[in-house]
């Protein structure tokens, strides 16, 4: 395995146990739900991963589209939500084929670091086209250049202690040091942005942008941006 796409399509151990995965996706779903502007909103969770609690978002929106590059993730989410008419699961190429102005809220959490700067620019142009004129884009968990692996470790341990899986998190951290994640991160790296760079990228893509006071995920050193079409 030598690239991020195949890593996320594999049986990785980023979530150290079932409780970690459950707590993580429940919190992400509740935070996405808090950004939903109203019951008629059409929502896209782009790079959704195993969004096992997407039904919590669907409960306060008109519909939720989950999109992930990994076919195995899409298959698992499609099976999980097969009986929920408000949730659909599609591939990135299907998102590109959606009509203009179709969406009221797009959320992308913890994806920017796995995209090249050119891929990010392309994605933002697509999001700008898909958003309704009064729509909102939330780009979350963007990693500044001075935030490294140590910050992730500290944040994970604090999160695990608070949520009752500290032992599993310690074992998980040891596993991660010898995992494909570590190898790919040291060869391919991740893409990091200063606040000013990310704001400029959003502005160049046709958005007004602000950094929110709090990151959507548990590492407070990472950044969340809210953007609206100009
Ligand atoms: C760190 S996980 C984040 C998952 C989820 N958003 C969350 O909040 O936990 C990154 C996810 O982004 C997906 N991904 C990476 N690059 C992508 C792309 N270009 N298009 C769509 N999904 C992508 C991966 O397959 C993976 O599931």
129 in Cβ contact with 103 (< 8 Å): no
Distance 70 CA to ligand 1 centre (A): 8
> What is the residue with the minimal CA distance to atom 13 of ligand 1?
47
Q: Is residue 139 part of a domain?
A: yes
106 in Cβ contact with 46 (< 8 Å): yes
Q: Is residue 175 part of a domain?
A: no
> What does the alpha-carbon distance between residue 90 and residue 77 come to, in Å, rounded to a whole number?
10
Q: Is residue 19 part of a domain?
A: yes
Q: Is residue 166 part of a domain?
A: no
Give the ligand 1 atom nearest the CA of 9. Answer: 25
In this structure, of 18-22, 132-136, 177-181, 190-194, the range with the lowest mean pLDDT score is: 177-181
Give the model's confidence band at 3: pLDDT under 50 very low, under 70 low, under 90 confident, else very high.
Answer: confident
20 in Cβ contact with 155 (< 8 Å): no
**Which candidate, 205, 79, 74, places its Cα nearest to that of 130?**
205
Write out the chain in H/E/C secondary structure: CCCHHHHHCCCCCCCCCHHHHHHHHHHHHHHHHHHCCCCCCEEEEECCCCCCCHHHHHCCCCEEEEECCCHHHHHHHHHHCCCCCCEEEECHHHHHCCCCCCEEEEEEECCHHHCCHHHHHHHHHHHHHHEEEEEEEEEEEECCCCCCHHHHHHHHHHHHHHHCCHHHHHHHHHHHHCCHHHHHHHHCCCCCCCHHHHHHHHHHCCEEEEECCCCCCCCCCCEEEEEEEC
Q: Is residue 176 part of a domain?
A: no
Sequence-ordered list of residues with C-beta below 8 angstroms from that of 113, at least 6 positions apart, any chain: 141, 142, 143, 190, 191, 192
199-216, pLDDT tens digit by residue?
A: 999 999 999 999 999 999
Q: Is residue 186 part of a domain?
A: no
Indicate if the pLDDT at residue 144 is higher than 70: yes
Tokens for 230, please give them. Answer: 């100009």
The structural domain count of the chain equals: 1
> Residue 196 sits in a domain of what CATH number?
3.40.50.150
69-119, pLDDT tens digit by residue?
A: 999 999 999 999 999 999 999 999 999 999 999 999 999 999 999 999 999
Residues with CB under 6 A from ligand 1: 8, 28, 47-49, 67-70, 73, 92, 109-111, 114-115
Distance 108 CA to ligand 1 centre (A): 8
Percent of the chain whose pLDDT exceeds 90? 80
Tokens for 134, please give them. Answer: 């009064």
Structural domain boundaries, residue 122? 14-145+191-229
151-183, pLDDT tens digit by residue?
A: 888 999 999 999 999 999 998 888 887 778 878
14-46, pLDDT tens digit by residue?
A: 888 899 999 999 999 999 999 999 999 999 999
> What does the alpha-carbon distance between residue 179 and residue 4 come to, in Å, rounded to a whole number?
13
> What does the alpha-carbon distance between residue 6 and residue 115 come to, in Å, rounded to a whole number?
14
> What is the residue with the minimal CA distance to atom 1 of ligand 1?
110
> What is the residue with the minimal CA distance to atom 17 of ligand 1?
69
Single pTM value for the model = 0.94
Q: Is residue 28 part of a domain?
A: yes
Q: Is residue 102 part of a domain?
A: yes
Q: Which pLDDT score is estimated for 181?
A: 81
Burial track 151-162 (b if 16+ CB lie within 10 A, e otherwise): bbeebbeebbee
Mean pLDDT, rounded, of the chain: 94
Sequence-ordered list of residues with C-beta below 8 angstroms from that of 94, at least 6 positions apart, any chain: 67
């Amino acid at each position: 395995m030598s690239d991020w796409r195949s890593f996320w399509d594999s049986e990785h151990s980023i979530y150290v146990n079932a409780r970690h995965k459950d707590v993580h996706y429940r919190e992400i779903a509740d935070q996405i739900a808090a950004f939903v502007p109203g019951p008629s909103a059409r929502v896209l969770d782009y790079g959704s991963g195993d969004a096992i609690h997407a039904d919590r978002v669907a409960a306060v929106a008109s519909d939720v589209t989950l999109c992930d590059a990994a076919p195995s993730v899409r298959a698992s989410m499609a099976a999980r939500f097969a009986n929920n008419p408000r949730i659909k699961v599609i591939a990135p190429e299907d998102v590109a084929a959606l009509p203009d102005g179709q969406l009221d809220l797009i959320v992308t959490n913890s994806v920017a670091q796995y995209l090249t700067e050119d891929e990010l620019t392309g994605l933002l142009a697509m999001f700008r086209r898909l958003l309704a004129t009064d729509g909102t884009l939330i780009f979350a968990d963007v990693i500044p250049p001075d935030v490294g692996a140590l910050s992730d470790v500290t944040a994970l341990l604090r999160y695990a202690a608070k949520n009752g899986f500290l032992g599993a998190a310690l074992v998980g951290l040891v596993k991660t040091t010898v995992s494909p994640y570590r190898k790919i991160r040291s060869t391919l790296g991740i893409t990091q942005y200063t606040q000013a760079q990310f704001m400029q990228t959003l502005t160049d893509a046709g958005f007004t942008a602000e950094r929110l006071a709090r990151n959507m995920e548990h590492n407070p050193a990472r950044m969340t941006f809210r953007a609206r079409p100009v």
